[in-house]
Chain A
Amino acid sequence: KNEVEQSPQNLTAQEGEFITINCSYSVGISALHWLQQHPGGGIVSLFMLSSGKKKHGRLIATINIQEKHSSLHITASHPRDSAVYICAVRSSYNTDKLIFGTGTRLQVFP
């Protein structure tokens, strides 16, 4: 079993829809990251969370430390949001290592 699980693995949406991607983890963490990877490879850091909620534009990320769960929400989705979204945790016993989830492939159609 992976230490970081994401769901769903694949997600399609119509432009304008509200999107939720979930991440559950089984290890103690010092922080959780949400990352975005477009075709072609480059990874962009969207959020780093250790508690509560963060908002940036149409993106909202929440984390529940007790339940070991985080969600990434995209409001008013747009085709340019199409990408792979990756949840990664930094373990509390080795902060140098990011443990990655398998990613959620999102396609938003006009």
Chain B
Amino acid sequence: DTEVTQTPKHLVMGMTNKKSLKCEQHMGHRAMYWYKQKAKKPPELMFVYSYEKLSINESVPSRFSPECPNSSLLNLHLHALQPEDSALYLCAAAYQGGFEAFFGQGTRLTVV
């Protein structure tokens, strides 16, 4: 069982589609993260939310738009993606920055 739940598990979308990835945690953790992982590579940090405010944006293209509507939920809105954006997208949560992070199972995204 994972304490961080990501939906959907798999997503195939066209380059003109708009879709959203969802991440949910009920551990009361105040830091939430989005990572992108390409095959056989380590995860790359995209965004960090701390206390529901965006604290880090690692120069991610604007076709990726994060949203943290409340302390339990983190969304990643996708629009006009490119095939090279196909990857595993991982969400993580931590009590605060600097504490142990708990990862979700990821959403495997394919852009066609």
- Chain A residues within CB distance 8 Å of chain B: 30-31, 33, 35, 40-45, 48, 86, 88, 90, 95-98, 100-103
Contacts and interface: CB of A to CB of B under 8 A. Distances in A.
B97 A96 contact: yes
Contacts, number: 53
B97 A95 contact: yes
Contacts of B31: 96
Interface string B32-52: 000001001111010010100
A43 B90 contact: yes
A90 B42 contact: no
B66 interface: no
Nearest to B4: A42
Contact of A42 (B56, B97, B100, B104): B104
B42 A42 contact: no
B105 A31 contact: no
Nearest to B2: A42
B23 interface: no
Contacts of B56: 96-97
Contact of B42 (A44, A48, A95, A103): A103
B97 A101 contact: no
A74 to B, nearest CB: 20
A86 B42 contact: yes
Interface string B72-112: 00000000000000001010100001101111111010000
B62 interface: no
Nearest to B94: A96
Given A96-B55, A96-B56, A98-B45, A42 B98 contact: no
A40 B102 contact: no
Given A96-B50, A96-B55, A101-B42, A41 B97 contact: no
A42 B106 CA distance: 6
B42 A100 contact: yes
